[in-house]
Structure 1
Amino acid sequence: MRSSNLLETSCGYLLQELQMIWNEVGQDHFEREKVLLDLEQECLEVYRKKVDAANTSRARLHQELAEAEAEFTHLLLSLGERSLPGRPEKMAGTLKEQLDSITPALREMRLRKEERVNQFRTVQGQIQKISAEIAGESESEYDDLSSDIMVNENDLSLKKLEEYQTELQRLRNEKNERLMRWNNI
């Protein structure tokens, strides 16, 4: 990283060299001032572009961090979790450090969501299959239904999963009761 002193020394040296050349050539004072003013403007423009690029980068990082935090919170709520071990609490440090600290927790929450969605699909699929069997539908009619399993990803809580599992158990019991009655006929 270049310090401002080094930059000033480099610029100072180059300015001295330019002035020596002008003295040797015999450049008039007006032309010298014009060139110096142009150099100053060009230098300011280069700095302005660098500052604008840095601001854009900072804004992008702020946006990425806000989106990651929002997604993390949404996943936490949809999974019905209060907190997650390893969740970065009050984050400190640079924007990049903050983003790096939430990324593993976000990845973990995405995996949890995917696993929970699969659990819901399995249970809901079994519910649809048993419901179809109880209703007397053929297996081909059930196969048409099984591809339409929609999981409400806004409520993937364990409580909701338990409700579905309770419903599945109720349907299994009903199916077994009907089979027993059928076998007793």
Structure 2
Amino acid sequence: MSSFQTSIGTRSSTMIETSCGYLLQELQMIWNEVGEDQFEREKVLLDLEQECVEVHRKKVDAANTSRTRLHQELAEAEAEFTHLLLSLGERSFPGRPERMVGTLKEQLDSITPALQEMKLRKEERVNQFRAVQGQTQKISAEIAGQSELGDSLLAFKVNDNDLSLKKLEEYQIELQRLHNEKVV
């Protein structure tokens, strides 16, 4: 824990103790003046302690839920990044942080730009695949003597799991083959 965090924790703990201590002293003075019996005093103090524990438990539970959510978001971001890397056929990405260090929020913030860049690369690659597949379909239709394709031009779907340059090159080779066949 950093000295700043320790300082904040000590300061807030001291403030709570001071304010709670002051309020308990005030309650003791009131009880003394009123003449509250010891059994009632202990019962009220026990109730106060239980309420305090419940409030703290709720805050700890909320913080734990937030931590769990951040762990999940980080795991999902890393998994998505890895999936994109594999589907694009790339071994590495220079924008990806080498080691994940720091708080969960810092780790998530460090992978987010690389993940966004990979999403853009995927979108560009999908557009390249669609363009090549569209041209391939158009030339195939022309070779088959179909002048109008209608909705069949929109029928192809890009396989998101293999967007590698090797696969794109295969489609481009097929497009070139069809183009040469059409010309002859």
Sort the TM-score into its range (normalised by shorter chain). over 0.9
Q: Structure 1 CA distance, aligned partners of 2:151 and 2:140?
A: 13
One-letter amino acid of the structure 2 residue matched with residue 134 of structure 1: I
One-letter amino acid of the structure 1 residue matched with residue 157 of structure 2: M
Indicate yes or no: 2:160 matched with 1:153: yes
Indicate yes or no: 2:179 matched with 1:172: yes
One-letter amino acid of the structure 2 residue matched with residue 154 of structure 1: N
Deviation of 1:161 after TM superposition, in Å, equals 0.4
Identical counterparts, % of pairs: 83
**Equivalent in the alignment of 1:63:** 72
SS at the partner of 2:150?
helix
Give TM-score scaled by structure 2 length: 0.92
Which whole-Å deviations, capped at 9, do the CAs of 1:51-84 have from their partners, x for residues lacking one? 1101111111111111111100000000011111
**Equivalent in the alignment of 1:9:** 18
Which whole-Å deviations, capped at 9, do the CAs of 1:77-107 have from their partners, x for residues lacking one? 0001111111112100101111111111111
Mind listing any 5+ residue stretches in structure 2 that lack a counterpart?
A: 1-7
SS at the partner of 1:86?
coil
Mind listing any 5+ residue stretches in structure 1 that lack a counterpart?
A: 178-185
One-letter amino acid of the structure 1 residue matched with residue 161 of structure 2: N
One-letter amino acid of the structure 1 residue matched with residue 153 of structure 2: S
**Equivalent in the alignment of 2:4:** none
Q: Structure 2 CA distance, aligned partners of 1:42 and 1:28?
A: 21
SS at the partner of 1:3?
helix
Which of 1 and 2 has greater Rg? 1
Deviation of 1:7 after TM superposition, in Å, equals 1.4
Deviation of 1:135 after TM superposition, in Å, equals 1.1
Residue pairs, 1:88-107, within 5 angstroms: 88-107=97-116
Which residue of 46, 51, 61 corresponds with 1:42?
A: 51
Which residue of 120, 132, 148 corresponds with 2:129?
A: 120
Number of residue equivalences: 175
Q: Structure 2 CA distance, aligned partners of 1:134 and 1:119?
A: 23
Which residue of 87, 96, 110 corresponds with 2:119?
A: 110
Q: Which 4+ stretches in 1 moved above 3 angstroms?
A: none
Q: Structure 1 CA distance, aligned partners of 2:42 and 2:146?
A: 93
Which residue of 120, 143, 151 corresponds with 1:134?
A: 143
Deviation of 1:138 after TM superposition, in Å, equals 2.3
Q: Structure 1 CA distance, aligned partners of 2:115 and 2:95?
A: 10
Deviation of 1:6 after TM superposition, in Å, equals 2.2
One-letter amino acid of the structure 1 residue matched with residue 34 of structure 2: V
**Equivalent in the alignment of 1:180:** none
